[in-house]
Amino acid sequence: MREAEIAVEGVSFGYEKGRKILKELSFQASGTENIGLIGENGVGKSTLLKLLVGLYPEFTGTIRIGGMPVEKKNLAKIRSQIGYVFQDSDSQLFCASVDEDVAFAPRNYGLPEAEVERRVERALAMTGTLHLRDRKNYSLSGGEKKLVAIAGILSMSPDILLMDEPSAALDPKNRRRLIGILHELPQLKIIASHDMDLILDTCSRTLLMADGRIVRDGATEEILRDGELLEAHGLELPLRLQGQIEIMSGKMRTDIL
């Protein structure tokens, strides 16, 4: 795999004039780590991810993917290296059958049919959805749709994966499966989510977004244990840690008594 690298420098962007969503935002990422992107609803997590793949070209500042600036002339190349998993799987699964949807990208890249076949099989196997291969997309459950959507991205063999709220709409079993998949995949990943437990389980590093910037960038363990910091930005401790802290405070009380 090529060296995956994302470099964002002083990026500002707004959908409408006079209302900036991102303000001089910067961060860097490389290698094969899982990076959590957290922040209040509407802070601009999805917007940031979409900027990385060049869906909104009217930003200021620079974004480089694998050293290439995100500009019109590089988009085809950049998009073949980055996989974007949409929050809403229905936006992604527009072909009639699972099989076809997973083959959509490799076919568009003009690969020979035998290679397309091989990639589809591998992508489905990686997400544990080989048995869904001949199913029609509309007949899948929410969780199955999400896994198939991920397979549809993996078939591109991207170096970087961007995932927008991947655990939304998943039941506990499929959520565990997703966590397993996130651990296994070797790509550099950015996972935007307000599922703090998912981030805690899968990401070594976390970016906290607020007011159009990255206000904290560090080890997930540290940021997600900082209840005050999270609360100040409209977020909550992961449930698992909430439990620990309650137990701790319970213990303290018994100690006092």
Partner 1 sequence: MNRAEGAAREISRLDMLARRDQRVNRIHPLVKFLLTVGYIAAVVSFPKYDVFGLLGMMVYPIATFLLGELSVRDAFRRLRVVLPLVCVAGLFNPLLDQNRVRLGDVWISAGVLSMLTLMGKGVFSLLASYLLIATTTAEALCGALSMLRLPEAVITQFLLTFRYITVLLEEVGRMTQAYALRAPRQKGVHRKVWGPFAGQLLLRSMDRANEVYESMLLRGFSGKRFYQRQRTPLCGRDLAYGAFWLALFALFRFFPVLLLVGGIFL
Ligand X SMILES: Nc1ncnc2c1ncn2[C@@H]1O[C@H](COP(=O)(O)OP(=O)(O)O)[C@@H](O)[C@H]1O
- Residues near ligand X (CB under 6 A): 15, 21, 39, 41-47
CA dihedral sign of residues 105, 117, 101, 175: negative
The 8 Å CB, 24+ separation contacts for 83-86 are 83/153, 83/154, 83/156, 83/158, 83/160, 83/161, 83/162, 83/187, 84/49, 84/50, 84/53, 84/153, 84/162, 84/164, 85/149, 85/150, 85/153, 85/161, 85/162, 85/163, 85/164, 85/166, 86/149, 86/164
Structure tokens, 31: 């290698």
Closest CB to partner 1 among residues 136, 233: 136
- Decide: is 136 part of the binding site for partner 1 (CB under 8 A): yes
- Which residues lie across from 29 on neighbouring strands? 6
Q: Do 123 and 152 touch, CB atoms closer than 8 A?
A: yes
- Decide: is 46 part of the binding site for Mg ion (CB under 5 A): yes
Closest CB to ligand X among residues 49, 123: 49
Please count the residues of this chain forming the interface with partner 1, following the rule CB under 8 A: 29
Query: Per-residue string for binding with Mg ion, 200-239, x by CB under 5 A?
Result: ----------------------------------------
Closest CB to partner 1 among residues 52, 209: 52
Task: Compute the distance between CA of residue 21 and CA of residue 44 in angstroms, rounded to an integer.
Answer: 6
- Decide: is 91 part of the binding site for partner 1 (CB under 8 A): yes
Task: Compute the distance between CA of residue 62 and CA of residue 71 in angstroms, rounded to an integer.
Answer: 9
Least distance CB 19 / ligand X (angstroms)? 8
- Decide: is 76 part of the binding site for partner 1 (CB under 8 A): yes
Least distance CB 36 / ligand X (angstroms)? 13
- Decide: is 47 part of the binding site for partner 1 (CB under 8 A): no
Cα 182 to Cα 84, 150, 187, 203: the distances in Å are: 14, 10, 9, 9
Query: Per-residue string for binding with partner 1, 173-212, x by CB under 8 A?
Result: ----------------------------------------
Least distance CB 58 / partner 1 (angstroms)? 15
- Decide: is 156 part of the binding site for partner 1 (CB under 8 A): yes
Among 1, 30, 96, 131, binds partner 1 (CB under 8 A): 96
Closest CB to ligand X among residues 42, 57: 42
Structure tokens, 141: 């459950």
**Which residue is listed with tokens 């890249």?**
109
Least distance CB 248 / ligand X (angstroms)? 31
Structure tokens, 195: 């599922």
Q: Among residues 79, 126, 128, 129, which one has the least CA distance to residue 99? A: 129
Which residues sit at the interface with partner 1, rule CB under 8 A?
50, 53, 55, 76, 79-80, 82-84, 86, 88, 90-92, 94, 96-97, 104-105, 107-110, 136-138, 152-153, 156
The footprint of Mg ion (CB under 5 A) covers: 46
